[in-house]
Amino acid sequence: MFTPVLSLLLMLYRKFPAGAPLSTDLMQANNRVYIATSLDGFISDRNGGLAWLDSVENPEGDDMGYGNFMANTDALLMGRTTFETVCGFDVEWPYTKPVYVLSNSLTKVPAEYEGKVWLVKGKLPEVLQYIHERGHLSLYIDGGQTITNFLAQGLIDEMILTVFPVLLGGGHPLFGDLPVAQDFELVNSKVCLGKLVQSHYRRKTGRP
Amino acid sequence: MFTPVLSLLLMLYRKFPAGAPLSTDLMQANNRVYIATSLDGFISDRNGGLAWLDSVENPEGDDMGYGNFMANTDALLMGRTTFETVCGFDVEWPYTKPVYVLSNSLTKVPAEYEGKVWLVKGKLPEVLQYIHERGHLSLYIDGGQTITNFLAQGLIDEMILTVFPVLLGGGHPLFGDLPVAQDFELVNSKVCLGKLVQSHYRRKTGRP
């Protein structure tokens, strides 16, 4: 009989194809967030809507650093809800990097996403260990509940937050309760499209 | 028998000394917020503490625009809790402008604050009308609950928010539920002391 951790890993190894070469340079491992919020800290409105993201015109298609962020991303890790939301968009699959989907309920990746999406479950440190062992160290953590869970466990290293100038007044908040305060340092901040404030934060570690 | 509004105004006129000359140029009236928040939108920690505001060194005493903001302020309007908090600071009274304190429970300004502080109560539009009639049009709205109440009624015109790079994880939030979304425009945003992001927003009005 396997321990839960071992059975998780065995299950994952069965579920995953051969991945990138193993890397032991876990110093490079980091979990990064790139997300837009309203001025009052919501990532979607009361109905889950994102129409407010379209409220700012972007005639020249400024990617607001997204391309550079993705170029430095090995893989994405998102919650099931976000995965299903992205699947529901009337666009082609938007990611060129592997996508890990945290889910306790999904048992199988839909056929059209095979080779692009892999299911993971379990405690976050174990999930991360598994993903790192697949050679994916720099992870784009996405989805409100997933980010909240990562933050609650002190597992977010960097955040690029793009603040839209609207008070939604309700919706899904990016930040939740934390057991202790977490200090970050400002890497930089800039105005995008004349209307958005994009700030890059890095978690302080090993400091009092 | 007086109507509630009239009795409020009579009460206020009795409570207040002769003020600045009346001004009817209410186009200049605006309600402005200048406040620091944590990255997760709190203005004080779970214990009401503000120690995190001291976490950023300020060796050259950069006032971060406060002097200019106050120079363009006719009077302050704050809640009782904030008033009592300021009274409790071990410093001289910090304001050179008149301070209006919203309170349903205080009946008298403590003797040492006479001539500096005036009590007001009632519905916000009526309180504002009274203050405007005293010649004070550009108001610094302060205090968490007061700002929340003003925002909920669409009465905040400008906000200068200075975001500290810390997730407090709990405390008193700046923003509360709103019945409808409110659009603002970004006036400018800058980095202060290399660590803080200060953004100036102005409410959009008369727009769809």
ipTM of the complex, rounded to two decimals: 0.84
Residue type, A182: Q
- DSSP summary character for residue B104: S
Is B179 close to A169, i.e. CB distance below 8 A? yes
List the single residue in A175, A185, A194 with the smallest CB-CB distance to B40: A175
The pLDDT assigned to A14 comes to 35
User: pLDDT tens per residue, chain A (208 residues)?
Assistant: 333 333 333 333 333 333 444 444 556 799 999 999 999 999 999 998 899 999 899 999 999 999 999 999 999 999 999 999 889 888 889 999 999 999 999 999 999 999 999 999 999 999 999 999 999 999 999 999 999 999 999 999 999 999 999 999 999 999 999 999 999 999 999 999 999 999 999 999 743 3
- pLDDT of B99 strictly over 50: yes
Average pLDDT, chain B: 87
> Whole-angstrom Cα distance, residue B64 to residue B62?
5
Q: At A72, list the tokens.
A: 């430095």
Contact in structure between A67 and A91 (CB atoms under 8 Å): no
Mutate which: B189, B200, B203, B207, vs A, most A CBs within 10 A = B189
Picking from A84-88, A98-102, B17-21, B98-102, which range would have the lowest pLDDT averaged per residue? Answer: B17-21
Q: How would you label A179-203 residue by residue, b for 16+ Cβ within 10 Å and e otherwise?
A: eebbbbebeebeebeebbbbbbbbb
Residue appearing with tokens 């019945």 = B179
Residue appearing with tokens 């409410």 = B203
Q: Decide: residue B179, CB within 10 A, 0-12 exposed, 13-18 middle, 19+ buried.
A: exposed
Is A166 close to B189, i.e. CB distance below 8 A? no
The pLDDT assigned to A4 comes to 39
Residue A6 or residue B48, greater confidence: B48
Question: Distance, in angstroms, between A162 CA and closest chain B CA?
Answer: 12
Is A170 close to B177, i.e. CB distance below 8 A? yes
> Whole-angstrom Cα distance, residue A176 to residue A174?
7
- pLDDT of B2 strictly over 70: no
- Domains of chain B, with CATH numbers? 4-17+25-48+59-203 (3.40.430.10)
List the single residue in B181, B191, B197 with the smallest CB-CB distance to A168: B181
Of the candidates A79, A166, A148, A71, the one whose C-alpha atom is nearest the C-alpha of residue A119 is A79
Read off the pLDDT band of B15 (50, 70, 90). very low
